[in-house]
Amino acid sequence: MSTSTPRPPVSRDPAINEMVQIAADAAVPTVWDRYKAQHPQCKFGTQGVCCRLCHMGPCRITPKAKLGICGADADTIAARNLLREIAAGTAAHSDHGRTLVNTLKLVAHGKGGKYRIADSFRLREAAGLFGIDTAERDDLAIAGELADFFMAQFAWSEEANATLKLAPAKRQELWKKLGIEPRGVDSSVVEILHRTHMGVDHDYRHLIMGGLKCSLADGWVGSAIATVVSDILFGTPKPIRSKVNLGVLAADQVNIIVHGHEPTLSEMLAVAAHDEELVAYARSKGAAGINVAGICCTANEVLMRHGLPIAGNFLQQELAILTGAVEMMIIDVQCVMPSLAQVARCFHTKLVSTSEIAASVDAEQITFDVAEGYEHAVRLIRAAIDNFAHRDSGRVNIPQHAMELVAGFSNETIFHMLGGRFRSTFRPLNDAIIDGRIRGVCGIIGCSNPKVMADDGHVRLAEELIKRNVLVLETGCAAIACAKAGLLVPEAAIAKAGETLREVCEAVGIPPILHMGSCVDNSRILLAATNVLLEGGLGEDLSDLPVAGAAPEWMSEKAVAIGHYFVASGIYVVLGHPLYVEGSENVTKLLCEEMEGITGGRFEWEPDPVLAADKILAHIEKKRDALRINVKKERKLFDMKERRELQ
């Protein structure tokens, strides 16, 4: 192995920096090398003013050429490009949801192999919510009808999507008034593709409102369905301890990594990894056991339900293979870098692609089938065990960094934890917000991105917010970043929280940063906000709440869709770097200023975590003032007395 010059740090995570050096020494390029090779990045792209929507073009807007060949200006072009990103993000989350609904349907009809209804309570609750009869019916009958109901949410309908009614009534009215209620997930995506086709929708305001509509089909429909069906099939998450970072890979075990987003196959892998015969088979090949760990959101899903360890977030996928200790990486959909095949080629790692819509050149394609899910899992694990013999122990470099974490905070759990054993309720949380011990709530979500010192944006923002007594909810790669930094262990996090937030967390037994799941589980964050609202005392609409959202290191189109459905839901969203719209002053102004007067939410870009925290706090205090809960002590005492009298 040749040794190259020392690499400057690319992350606050030492495991990443160590592996980047190892990659350089082994002359295996990684995402950071390719990022450098792409410099300088195209300015027209970053500004959103490159259009290739028709073949008169491509056109780009410059000071000399202010219009495309068809006459489209920067506003139209930037808005259209943004809309297509929203549509792609919505499609990705929602198609993931559809796959799960299909699994639910197969289970209901006895064709689901070893899959079961894991959470009958959640099934009946969801069915009840959507007017499906549950009395004296067995789970499978209900599941069949619920699956059909959910499936129908994808197609176009005259009615607005039924799952929108999960949102507060006032918000639903506003969507109706603004004409942005989606009427089907697929049709919303199709509509965006249509209206952004050459020569259709040209008014940037009209376009952006269309984008919000599509994003709602993501957050309140496709993603919401993905979350609830995952809970029904695999169980509603409960707090669970596990470990995170590349150090979870075991030098003496067969290491299998699951990577992507859809949890169906990984559920079976999690179960099959305990199969005694397979464990014995692994031992017969000289391994001490079978270690299944995850990357990205598949990781979050199996972490929350099985406590499986997480090997890392988005930017660690290549590094996991570079440890030389991974026998097999099983990929499904989304956030899987095409470079994995290139890295795997340099090691013994077998790359297996399991989704019928996702193939990788040089990866083995074993398309997953629900009815045979368990058998697939067994076959894959066997193949991984067989591959253990090919591991070159001289090339094994597992960074010794692994952190404890607690994850699995579904709404249901928070509800029970807050209310105690006898009366589940969000009341204690609302009271704490009202009397100011908790200033507000912020969701930190999204990816990691080589443009940013990896994990630094997530960790510093989270620390800054809990220090200022803001409760933080996390999902996706943001949650993994904070977990690696030791922030998802209640003790450590509580040590970093402000005094009053700490008191509340200790009294209730929750950490100040709650890991709520995968990217589709941002729907859980929307529902948490809705629950707080329904509990009372904090206004009537989501836009009244002292809450915010942030994506400090985002990169995917899914993150673009998420940002928009938060904004469409009335929430203030701070991005660590701008959307590709800055080539249009009008679109930027609409998204970052005027939108507040339309939906109550808006975007802000702020790369500096401390300044981002300042802005989030300013927003939260503005909302608290409007709610008149920022009042003097006397009033607070009176409130408490009043409450005692009521009891």
Binding site for ligand XCC (CB under 6 A): 261, 296-297, 313-314, 335, 446-447, 476-477, 518-519, 556, 558-559
For ligand SF4, the closer of residues 6 and 63 by Cβ is: 63
**Residue 49 C-beta: closest distance to ligand SF4, Å:** 9
Q: How far is the CB of 507 from ligand XCC (least distance, A)?
A: 32
The b-or-e profile of 609-634 (16+ CB within 10 A means b, else e) is beebbebbbebbeebbeebebebeee
Q: From the CB of residue 518, how many other CB atoms can be counted at a distance below 10 Å?
A: 29
From the list ligand XCC, ligand SF4, none, partner contacted by residue 72 (C-beta under 5 to 8 A by kind): ligand SF4
Which residue shows structure tokens 């198609």?
95
- Name which of 70 and 250 has its Cβ closer to ligand SF4: 70
* Block residue for tokens 């990594």: 257
For 71, phi then psi, to 5°, come to: 105, 0
**Pick 533 or 612: Cβ nearer ligand XCC:** 612
Contact between 272 and 367 (Cβ < 8 Å): no
Question: Which one, 199 or 509, has the nearer CB to ligand SF4?
Answer: 199
Query: What does 447 interact with, of ligand SF4, ligand XCC, none (CB < 5 to 8 A by kind)?
Result: ligand XCC
**Of 57 and 537, CB closest to ligand SF4:** 57
221 binds, among ligand XCC, ligand SF4, none (CB under 5 to 8 A by kind): none
By a kind-dependent CB cut-off of 5 to 8 A, residue 446 interacts, out of ligand SF4, ligand XCC, none, with ligand XCC
Strands 240-244, 403-407: parallel, antiparallel or unpaired by DSSP?
antiparallel
Q: Under a CB-based contact definition with an 8 Å cutoff, are residues 78 and 49 in contact? A: yes
- Positions touching ligand SF4 (CB under 6 A) are 51-54, 56-59, 68-70, 72, 77, 198
Please state, in angstroms and rounded to a whole number, the distance separating the CA atoms of residues 279 and 427. 47
Nearer to ligand XCC, 216 or 297 (CB): 297
CB 582 → ligand SF4: shortest distance, Å?
18
Q: How far is the CB of 303 from ligand XCC (least distance, A)?
A: 13
Where helices occur in 345-444 by DSSP H, the ranges are 373-387, 411-419, 427-434
Nearer to ligand XCC, 245 or 586 (CB): 245
Beta strand pairing call for 470-474 and 440-444? parallel
Close Cβ partners of 577 (under 8 Å, ≥ 6 residues apart)? 449, 451, 452, 554, 605, 607
At closest approach, how far in Å is the CB of 344 from ligand SF4?
Answer: 38
Distance in Å, CB of 93 to ligand XCC, minimum: 9
Task: Name the binder of 477 from ligand XCC, ligand SF4, none, CB < 5-8 A by kind.
Answer: ligand XCC
3-state secondary structure of 184: coil
Choose the contact partner of 54 out of ligand SF4, ligand XCC, none; CB within 5 to 8 A by kind: ligand SF4
Rounded to whole angstroms, the Cα distance separating 233 from 126 reads 13
Query: d(Cα 280, Cα 294) in Å, to the nearest integer?
Result: 23
Least distance (Å) from ligand XCC to the CB of residue 555? 6
Residue 53's binding partner among ligand XCC, ligand SF4, none (Cβ under 5 to 8 angstroms by kind) is: ligand SF4
**Residue 44 or 605 having the CB closest to ligand SF4:** 44
> Which of the choices ligand XCC, ligand SF4, none does residue 70 contact, using the CB cut-off of 5 to 8 A by kind?
ligand SF4
**HEC readout, 460-504:** HHHHHHHHCCEEEEECHHHHHHHHHCCCCCHHHHHHHCCHHHHHH
- Closer residue to ligand XCC, CB minimum distance, 335 or 384: 335
Determine the distance from the C-alpha atom of residue 191 to the mean position of all C-alpha atoms in its chain, rounded to a whole number. Answer: 25
Region of 37 (left: φ > 0; alpha: ψ -120 to 50; beta: rest) is alpha
- Residue 458 contact among ligand SF4, ligand XCC, none, beta carbon within 5 to 8 Å by kind: none
State the Rg of the chain over Cα: 24
